[in-house]
């Protein structure tokens, strides 16, 4: 699949678009690749897939519980089934189907949460998914992944397709620049990627918040002479605890970053591991606080809560000040 990698490296696209093109390439060689949608092929960038492979797309209509149940049935027969729906509906309305029909029954559905986090911006809380990591982390037998850039997205889809186990992947809508040009820095499910080394502080970020963390690390280097590390913790479960331990041992402080509630997501997963394994460090969880979410576009919401280059740089300086 080298050729795909080369192609996506060219320009920043929405991860969703890469998801769609990667799926088309898989479907071209494998008629068992099936996409199930809930009137979501447009928002899932799947219209070209539907045109090219009409026999491999199943439209359910707006009925997410049924979407996941039907996907479980398809997957039980060996079909590589991708169930695609906005993350907000997929992981709330169909949660019992995810828990029972997918995870508990061990049907290897690939659950694709699109327009995740606050991607829908001003459409409001009904359309935000700030709970999905938390609720899905508490369900046994489910891998949870938030790819950061186009390369991670492509690799996550390819690896998910072959995983043979239930998996949830979430994507946003905005263009995501590549985190690194280093081809040796490969993607493996369950293994975090060290995007930038550094000894002063580590940002452990996931999904589309890795990029602003990387920008913040650059800013801290330029303006404050700080050597800040950035990890793309694309797989939230199972968590790469070896990398977490290594970062705790080699940096002075840790900040986690996620486009998710501060309750029950990546940050608390990291905190639980670090504390229970005696790697306590100055630590801060950056996410969406437990409040009525501010209104605005995705960028405005993220900026408001400090999930931005300047916001994260300020949080890093404040945390380091507490241990100076």
Which residues form the catalytic set? 64
What residues make contact with other proteins under the rule CB under 8 A?
A: 34, 55, 58, 60-61, 63, 65-66, 68-79, 96-97, 100-101, 104-107
What's the closest the beta carbon of residue 103 comes to other proteins, in angstroms?
10
DSSP designation for 32? T
What's the closest the beta carbon of residue 56 comes to other proteins, in angstroms?
8
* Residues with Cβ within 8 Å of residue 278, at least 6 apart in sequence: none
Neighbours of 243 (CB within 10 A): 17
What's the closest the beta carbon of residue 270 comes to other proteins, in angstroms?
31
* Dihedral of alpha carbons 24, 28, 32, 38, sign: positive
Closest CA to 145 of 136, 274, 6: 136
DSSP designation for 302? H
138 near 7, Cβ under 8 Å?
A: no
What's the closest the beta carbon of residue 106 comes to other proteins, in angstroms?
7
**Dihedral pair phi/psi, residue 157, rounded to 5°:** -65, -45
Complex with other proteins: residue 43 or 105, whichever CB lies closer: 105
Query: What is the rounded (10 degree) CA torsion for 229, 157, 286, 302?
Result: 110
Complex with other proteins: residue 77 or 295, whichever CB lies closer: 77
Complex with other proteins: residue 109 or 220, whichever CB lies closer: 109
Complex with other proteins: residue 73 or 289, whichever CB lies closer: 73
Residue 306 three-state SS: coil
Q: How far from 307 is each of 216, 288, 312, CA to CA, in Å?
A: 10, 9, 6
Which residue has 């700080």 as its token pair? 226
What's the closest the beta carbon of residue 142 comes to other proteins, in angstroms?
14
Q: What is the rounded CA–CA span in Å between residue 106 and residue 158?
A: 20
Complex with other proteins: residue 100 or 221, whichever CB lies closer: 100
């Amino acid at each position: 699949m080298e050729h795909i990698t080369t192609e996506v490296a060219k320009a920043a696209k929405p991860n969703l678009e890469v998801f769609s093109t990667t799926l088309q390439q898989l479907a071209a060689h494998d008629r068992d690749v099936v996409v199930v949608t809930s009137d979501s092929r447009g928002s899932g960038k799947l219209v070209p897939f539907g045109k090219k492979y009409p026999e491999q797309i199943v439209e359910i209509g707006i009925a997410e519980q049924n979407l996941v149940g039907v996907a479980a049935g398809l997957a039980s027969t060996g079909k590589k089934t991708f169930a695609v729906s906005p993350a907000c509906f997929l992981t709330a309305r169909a949660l019992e189907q995810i828990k029972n029909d997918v995870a508990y029954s061990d049907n290897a559905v690939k659950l694709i949460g699109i327009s995740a986090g606050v991607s829908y911006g001003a459409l409001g809380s009904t359309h935000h998914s700030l709970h999905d990591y938390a609720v899905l982390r508490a369900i046994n037998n489910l891998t949870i992944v938030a790819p950061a850039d186009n390369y991670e997205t492509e690799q996550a889809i390819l690896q998910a397709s072959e995983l043979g186990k239930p998996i949830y992947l979430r994507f946003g809508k905005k263009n995501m620049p590549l985190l690194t040009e280093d081809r040796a820095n490969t993607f493996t499910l369950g293994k975090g990627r060290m995007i930038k080394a550094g000894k002063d502080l580590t940002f452990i970020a996931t999904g589309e918040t890795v990029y602003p963390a990387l920008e913040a690390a650059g800013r801290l280097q330029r303006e404050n002479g700080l050597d800040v590390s950035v990890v793309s913790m694309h797989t939230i479960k199972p968590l790469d605890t070896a990398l977490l331990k290594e970062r705790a041992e080699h940096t002075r402080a840790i900040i986690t970053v996620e486009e998710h509630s501060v309750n029950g997501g990546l940050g608390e997963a990291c905190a639980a591991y670090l504390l229970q394994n005696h790697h306590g460090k100055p630590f801060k969880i950056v996410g969406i606080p437990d409040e009525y979410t501010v209104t605005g576009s995705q960028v405005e919401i993220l900026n408001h809560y400090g999930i931005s280059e300047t916001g994260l740089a300020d949080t890093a300086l404040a945390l380091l000040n507490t241990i100076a």
